Structure 1
Amino acid sequence: MRNIRLTIEYDGTKYNGWQRLGNTENTIQHKLENVLSLMSGENIEVIGSGRTDAGVHALGQVANFHTRSPMTTREILDYCNHYLPQDIVVKKAAEVEERFHARYNAVSKKYMYRIWNSHIPTAFYRKYSYHVPEPLSIEKMRKGTAYLVGKHDFQAFSSVKSKKKSTEREIYSIEILKERERIDILFHGNGFLHNMVRIMTGTLLEIGLGKRKAEEIPLILEGKIREKAGVTAPAQGLFLYEVYY
């Protein structure tokens, strides 16, 4: 049995997220499994590095699957890109050791959230950014990131309902890059809770708009109450940027 690792890019606009769901076939995982199963004549199960929600994109999602197919990795890549929808692209295919697991072997992830900060909206980035028409203070937002970096309990910055699992995570870095109207926030950490990046982004945006102070973040972290943090930024600005192994 061979183990094949895929690096995948997708536009999540019209999909119900990554994970295969019982009530719809409109997921990234289902589309991949369908094409790979037809290719190999086997019932293929694709293991992703993690889920992305409805409307969220990926520049570097990683997945793996097991197969007995004799096709080369180049043939697998070409087959996928011929038969997959055009908004899902396999960028790389490589044979890896049997024990490689896209989810369990991942040591950290990087997400990017893109903002279009201009009074005038954009026609071309509208599906891949969040339009904020009011001026943002990058300096204030960067001040806020300093309080989020490190190991913390991020319960207040997630929509996790269960209290059985740990909500402690470590953020290694948060970069804010600005190029004219476009602002990219890059979050690198050992793991992320459900909606964590979008809630951190919403909080930083409120700081950048002067609606709250950066110094509030330690109190929010300590309080562990979701309602004390900022709004959940919309899905279309979020990208799974890279997975590290």
Structure 2
Amino acid sequence: MKARYLVFFSYIGTKFRSAEKLWFKGDKNYPDPESIQGLIEIGLLKLKSINYPSLFLSSRTDGGVHAINTSAHFDLERCGTRIYEPENIVYELNKFLHKNETSIYIKKCLRVSDSFSARFNAVSRTYLYRLAVLKRDVTLPQTAIIASYIPIEEWKKCHFMRNLGFDIDRFKEGANYFVGYHDFTTFKKFDKLNEKKHNRRVIQSIEVRPGRPMVTSYTSSQDGVFDYWDIEIKGKAFVHNQIRRMMGTLISVAVGKIPPEEVKVMLQVPSKHSWHSFIQNCPPDGLYLCNVEYNPEDLVYNNEKSLPQEEAIEESDRD
């Protein structure tokens, strides 16, 4: 008997090349131990289902991006009329992932309708970008590098930068322009194969608030030299590299390289030519996928539910 499942899981993306499995051979699936998708598929193979347990991710994140709570669906087929119990799937997957010392943790598994899609049924996605800026009153020696002052607990988990006149109020002013329905072509990584695909997306909200370091009690007792900021962004879907490019743009606004109003111009004239070459695409270290939200009724098993609406097929999510 065949059944579809939805899993919620978290991971630290530092060691992974990407979330998605990047290669196939012919028409056959092959496990890819360097990706999140590939490792979970290898764990599912331990259940010895009749079919290959292809994993379909709700969000296609780049290598180095972390996830606090993300999701994926897959099908498992078993001989006879019995199905695999969700609790047993969680146990077997975590057993495999822990044994192989991966930084992936399965939180929950549900049986869902056969037409359910972890990607297209998602109603919103919430991302967090963690930024640490050198305090204004801190002056580093000329021979010092900023890496010497980064807490080791924060390695590859936050984006650290020098102050360079950083103004958080200018940052917030620029961020306000992103909220709403816009064409994000300017903020997409250029891909010739997908250059004609529409890049219109809705940013439901952006919240900029003071953050705090993820450090031990010993490190926190020392004098910190950074101000931490959490930037939370909520929307249904995002184009490739959109959030990291948005952050790079807002940092350029905060340090005075471009005025806040330039963000509005970059949105109103959606083109790769509207992108300023001096803006640096922020690294994936500070980016976290915090949550993928669904309508509660969609998570209740009902095999008579119709397929998701076709217009959702154009939605994509990758950063």
Question: Same fold, TM exceeding 0.5?
Answer: yes
Please say if 1:88 is aligned against 2:136: no
Unaligned runs of 5+ in 1: none
Counterpart amino acid of 1:103?
Answer: R
Which residue number corresponds to residue 61 of structure 1? 70
Q: CA deviation at 1:104?
A: 1.5
Q: What is the DSSP-based 3-state SS (H/G/I as helix, E as strand, rest coil) of the residue aligned with 1:39?
A: coil
Distance across 1 between alignment mates of 2:102 and 2:270: 41
Distance across 2 between alignment mates of 1:46 and 1:117: 38
Matches within 5 A, 1:125-140: 125-134=154-163, 136-140=166-170
* C-alpha distance 179-12 of structure 1, shift in aligned 2 (>3 A): closer
Q: What is the DSSP-based 3-state SS (H/G/I as helix, E as strand, rest coil) of the residue aligned with 2:154?
A: coil
Which residue number corresponds to residue 29 of structure 1? 37
Task: Number of aligned residue pairs: give it.
Answer: 245
8 Å CA contact 1:4, 1:96 repeated in 2 = yes
Higher strand share: 1
Which residue number corresponds to residue 200 of structure 1? 246
Matches within 5 A, 1:1-245: 1-22=2-23, 25-42=33-50, 43-69=52-78, 70-84=83-97, 85-118=101-134, 120-134=149-163, 136-161=166-191, 162-180=194-212, 181-226=227-272, 227-228=275-276, 230-245=279-294
8 Å CA contact 2:186, 2:266 repeated in 1 = yes
Structure of larger gyration radius: 2
Distance across 2 between alignment mates of 1:196 and 1:90: 27
Distance across 2 between alignment mates of 1:128 and 1:179: 13
Q: CA deviation at 1:68?
A: 3.0
Q: What is the DSSP-based 3-state SS (H/G/I as helix, E as strand, rest coil) of the residue aligned with 2:171?
A: helix
Q: What is the DSSP-based 3-state SS (H/G/I as helix, E as strand, rest coil) of the residue aligned with 2:15?
A: coil
8 Å CA contact 1:2, 1:98 repeated in 2 = yes
Q: CA deviation at 1:140?
A: 1.3
Q: CA deviation at 1:205?
A: 1.2
Q: CA deviation at 1:78?
A: 1.4
8 Å CA contact 2:128, 2:290 repeated in 1 = yes
Counterpart amino acid of 1:40?
Answer: K
Unaligned runs of 5+ in 2: 25-31, 136-148, 213-226, 295-319
Deviates more, 1:223-232 or 1:100-109: 223-232
**1:64-122 deviation line (CA, Å, top 9, x unaligned):** 11113544212211111111143011111111122211112112211111112236322
Distance across 2 between alignment mates of 1:16 and 1:29: 11
How many percent identity over aligned positions?
31
